[in-house]
């Protein structure tokens, strides 16, 4: 039986990277902030205010950072495409030779490479050069607005989780409960992201929990140190 389609994961790269980064940062930065403030013996209301402020500031920071970063990538891609379009219009033979040479390096013989380049350029010359010479495709192209919303939204969802623990956990157990709960959230996020991206689950879980535990431990130490001195 002929298999007509296969499952691939590269089409998820753009939104998955932004979503995982946002949710991970939302959980980790908000939980670390809460643990640090709680370790300084602050009241529950002060811890909650700090957490909410961290959520709003973090979500906006993630959105702005992703938009600016991905916009820069998009600008570079457009500049490369414009230059390639101009080169195709003024020196098509050289561009044909460049494309054929790329196919030769990938294993085709010279004559076949020329034929493939000719046929692809006849259908969509710019698309062929964008994909095979520049490495730009519709699947992996930069989408600033999508990345910004994905990061901000996922950050907010992640940040809400440790904040909910602040509302239901006794003040005396706040630091330990938020730390443990947030590590669980990070582990679940790592496992979910690994499954969505087709990568090993255990490696992703180990990675996010290690860095999460380290970040919260350091923040708690700073909060306890300054809380004792103030």
- Tell me how far the alpha carbon of residue 227 is from its chain's centroid: 35
Contact 10, 139 (CB under 8 A): yes
Which residue pairs, CB below 8 angstroms and at least 24 apart, start in 6-13? 9/196, 9/197, 9/198, 10/139, 10/140, 11/139, 12/196, 12/197, 13/139, 13/140, 13/197
Per-domain residue ranges of the chain: 13-223
Within the chain, what is the greatest distance between any pair of CA atoms? 78
CA dihedral 82, 85, 91, 94 (to 10 degrees): 90
What does the alpha-carbon distance between residue 153 and residue 156 come to, in Å, rounded to a whole number?
Answer: 5
Q: What is the pLDDT of residues 45-71, one digit of tens each?
A: 899 999 999 999 999 998 898 888 888
Spell out the per-residue pLDDT of the chain, length 230, in tens.
444 455 444 444 555 666 777 888 899 999 999 999 988 888 888 999 999 999 999 999 988 988 888 888 888 888 888 888 898 888 888 888 888 998 898 888 888 988 988 998 888 888 888 888 777 766 555 678 887 888 889 899 999 999 999 988 888 888 889 999 999 999 988 888 777 667 788 888 888 899 989 988 898 888 888 765 54
Contact 96, 117 (CB under 8 A): yes
Contact 100, 117 (CB under 8 A): yes
Q: What is the pLDDT of residues 13-24, one digit of tens each?
A: 555 666 777 888
- Whole-prediction pTM value? 0.69
Residue 18, classified by CB atoms within 10 Å of its CB into exposed (0-12), middle (13-18) or buried (19+), is: buried
């Amino acid at each position: 039986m002929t298999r007509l389609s296969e499952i691939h994961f590269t089409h998820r790269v753009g939104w998955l990277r932004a979503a995982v980064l946002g949710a991970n940062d939302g959980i980790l930065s908000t939980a670390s902030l809460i643990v640090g403030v709680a370790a300084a013996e602050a009241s529950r209301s002060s811890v909650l205010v700090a957490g909410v402020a961290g959520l709003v500031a973090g979500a906006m920071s993630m959105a702005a950072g992703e938009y600016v970063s991905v916009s820069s990538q998009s600008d570079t891609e457009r500049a490369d495409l414009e230059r390639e379009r101009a080169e195709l219009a003024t020196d098509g033979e050289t561009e044909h030779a460049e494309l054929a040479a790329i196919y030769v390096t990938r294993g085709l013989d010279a004559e076949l490479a020329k034929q493939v380049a000719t046929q692809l350029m006849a259908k969509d010359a710019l698309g062929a050069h964008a994909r095979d010479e520049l490495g730009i495709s519709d699947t992996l192209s930069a989408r600033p607005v999508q990345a910004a919303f994905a990061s901000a939204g996922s950050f907010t969802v992640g940040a809400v989780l440790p904040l909910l623990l602040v509302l239901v956990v006794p003040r005396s157990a706040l630091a330990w409960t938020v730390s443990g709960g947030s590590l669980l959230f990070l582990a679940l996020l790592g496992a979910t992201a690994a499954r969505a991206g087709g990568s090993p689950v255990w490696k992703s879980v180990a990675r996010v929990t290690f860095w999460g535990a380290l970040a919260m431990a350091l923040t708690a130490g700073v909060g306890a140190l300054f809380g004792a001195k103030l």
